[in-house]
């Protein structure tokens, strides 16, 4: 059976040019049989999953290399995330930070010749250092997840309009303004990794093609070497998603990138900035450098003045801050909201939320820990409590074998008016 990471660039391009844009149209006969079996398996073993359409379930199966048990576990984990996690609540109920949105690149505009929505990302204009000093990293993660949900909704909309399945999108990454030094901010790279992991876990196989434009010759050489190594036909499970993804990435040379883009996107759908005829009407955000005067000043004295408590989390340990929510208050006043603010004296710490029901000894993870740099800007989190019991704000420093962390925190329980 041909595996997805055994597909060459030529084969993939041929498939796309023939109009087989949906994953369902790229399956072999053996893979179709596996998909049918997986649909039955999900129906019987995970009846809570609402979206059981073939074009949805095939993504989970492909992302897990047709391992049905692994795919089933992944889709169950995603269901829990969408029902209970802080991130899902946050990105659906809380407006995206307007100032942050102004400094994050990208936007949806137009569609490909096959009907895919196209997301343009002028990432070379991003200011990683400015973002680190000006905004909570949790907001940045949630903003990108909000974008992913928006793209997914756009795919559904185009599917209804065109009466055909549109289950993936194109991305154009614009490196104009990019320099390696600008992006070598360690904690920023950590957050980018967290975003990539969230996308892999909750939005699998959504990318159809990625075009990289306005890159330097040195970047082109590095990219080609890296992609050629990674796309070798190596049967290693953890490598296959990377290999398969890289097959869809194309680095376009500056001298012919317009012609290449026009192979996949009609001129009336391609923005003028990229050689097309369309007026993008400010739908693609092109961020400017964040002014230094807007950076957050952080001093220990001001933390104490703001009523923040101090906690020292020793190296290699986890500290849990108890937040009790009584049953009577939940019943009488409606569902309460826990809000917290966490600062660290030095760089990052893992922050999560867990719950223990009354008369229970086991904790349930509500929000998996995120590694967040809170040295410059506090992590501002919130969670709507569905049950009475003990909630725990988990501060995880187990990954640090050398340094303990001075943490400043405060929390509150707010009830609906």
Nearest-Å Rg of the Cα atoms of the chain is 23
Report yes or no on 271 lying in a domain.
yes
Report yes or no on 360 lying in a domain.
yes
- Residues 274, 327 share a domain: no
Total domains in the fold of the chain: 2
Report yes or no on 55 lying in a domain.
no
- Residues 267, 132 share a domain: yes
Report yes or no on 293 lying in a domain.
no
Report yes or no on 279 lying in a domain.
yes
Residue-wise pLDDT for 362-409, tens only, equals 888 887 787 777 777 788 888 888 888 899 999 988 877 788 888 888
Report yes or no on 266 lying in a domain.
yes
Q: Structure pTM? A: 0.73
- Residues 404, 321 share a domain: yes
C-alpha of 220 from chain center? 25
- Residues 127, 256 share a domain: yes
In the sheet with 309-313, reading across from the earlier edge strand, the strands are 309-313, 405-414, 337-344, 379-384
Place of tokens 């004295």: 301
Report yes or no on 370 lying in a domain.
yes
- Residues 325, 278 share a domain: no
- Residues 280, 306 share a domain: no
- Residues 257, 325 share a domain: no
Token code pair at residue 68: 């049905």
**Of 109, 181, 183, 97, nearest in space to 144 by CA:** 97
- Residues 318, 266 share a domain: no
- Residues 353, 316 share a domain: yes
The CATH number of whichever domain residue 409 belongs to comes to 2.60.120.680
pLDDT given for residue 313 in this prediction: 87
The CATH number of whichever domain residue 123 belongs to comes to 3.40.525.10
**Of 415, 213, 263, 237, nearest in space to 325 by CA:** 415
pLDDT given for residue 261 in this prediction: 93
- Residues 209, 330 share a domain: no
Residue-wise pLDDT for 145-199, tens only, equals 888 888 988 988 888 888 788 888 999 999 988 877 777 776 677 777 778 877 8
- Residues 355, 263 share a domain: no
User: For the chain, what is the mean pLDDT?
Assistant: 78
% helix, strand, coil for the chain, step of 5: 45, 25, 35
Which residues of the chain register pLDDT less than 70? Answer: 1-22, 83-98, 186-187, 218, 220-247, 294, 296-306, 328-334, 417
- Residues 264, 125 share a domain: yes
Q: Is 132 helix (H, G, I), strand (E, B) or coil?
A: helix
Determine the structural domain holding residue 202 and report its residue range. 85-215+252-284
Token code pair at residue 412: 């509150």
Distance CA 9, CA 247 (A): 6
pLDDT given for residue 379 in this prediction: 82
Report yes or no on 18 lying in a domain.
no
The residue ranges of DSSP E strands in 122-196, in sequence order, are 169-174
């Amino acid at each position: 059976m041909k595996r997805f990471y055994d597909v060459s660039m030529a084969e993939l391009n041929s498939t796309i040019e023939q109009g087989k844009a949906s994953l369902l149209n790229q399956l072999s006969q053996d893979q179709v049989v596996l998909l049918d079996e997986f649909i039955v398996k999900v129906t019987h073993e995970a009846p809570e999953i609402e979206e059981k359409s073939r074009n949805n379930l095939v993504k989970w199966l492909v992302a897990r290399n047709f391992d049905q048990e692994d795919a089933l576990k992944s889709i169950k984990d995603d269901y829990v995330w969408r029902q209970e996690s802080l991130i899902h609540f946050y990105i659906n109920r809380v407006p995206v930070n307007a100032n942050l949105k102004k400094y994050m690149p990208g936007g949806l505009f137009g569609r490909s010749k096959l009907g895919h929505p196209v997301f343009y990302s002028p990432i070379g204009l991003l200011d990683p250092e400015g973002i680190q000093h000006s905004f909570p990293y949790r907001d940045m993660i949630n903003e990108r997840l909000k974008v992913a949900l928006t793209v997914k909704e756009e795919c559904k909309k185009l599917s209804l309009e065109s009466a055909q399945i549109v289950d993936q999108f194109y991305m154009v990454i614009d490196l104009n303004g990019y320099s390696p030094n600008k992006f070598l901010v360690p904690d920023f790279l950590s957050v980018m990794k967290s975003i990539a992991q969230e996308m892999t876990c909750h939005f699998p196989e959504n990318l159809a093609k990625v075009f990289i434009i306005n890159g330097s010759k040195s970047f082109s050489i590095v990219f080609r070497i890296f992609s050629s190594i990674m796309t070798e036909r190596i049967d290693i499970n953890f490598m296959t998603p990377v290999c398969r993804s890289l097959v869809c990435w194309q680095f376009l040379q500056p001298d012919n990138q317009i012609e290449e883009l026009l192979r996949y996107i009609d001129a009336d759908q391609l923005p003028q900035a990229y050689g097309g005829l369309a007026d993008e009407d400010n739908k693609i955000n092109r961020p400017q450098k964040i002014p230094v005067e807007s950076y957050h000043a952080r001093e220990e004295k001001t933390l104490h003045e703001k009523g923040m408590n101090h906690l020292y989390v020793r190296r290699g340990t986890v500290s849990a801050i108890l937040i009790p929510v009584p049953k009577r208050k939940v019943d009488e006043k409606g569902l309460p909201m826990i809000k917290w603010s966490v600062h660290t004296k030095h760089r990052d710490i893992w922050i999560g939320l867990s719950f223990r029901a009354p008369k229970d000894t086991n904790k349930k993870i509500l929000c998996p820990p995120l590694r967040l740099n809170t040295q410059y800007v506090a992590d501002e989190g919130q969670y709507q409590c569905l049950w009475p019991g003990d909630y725990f704000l988990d501060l995880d420093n187990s990954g640090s074998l050398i340094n303990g962390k001075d943490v400043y925190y405060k929390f509150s329980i707010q009830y609906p008016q």
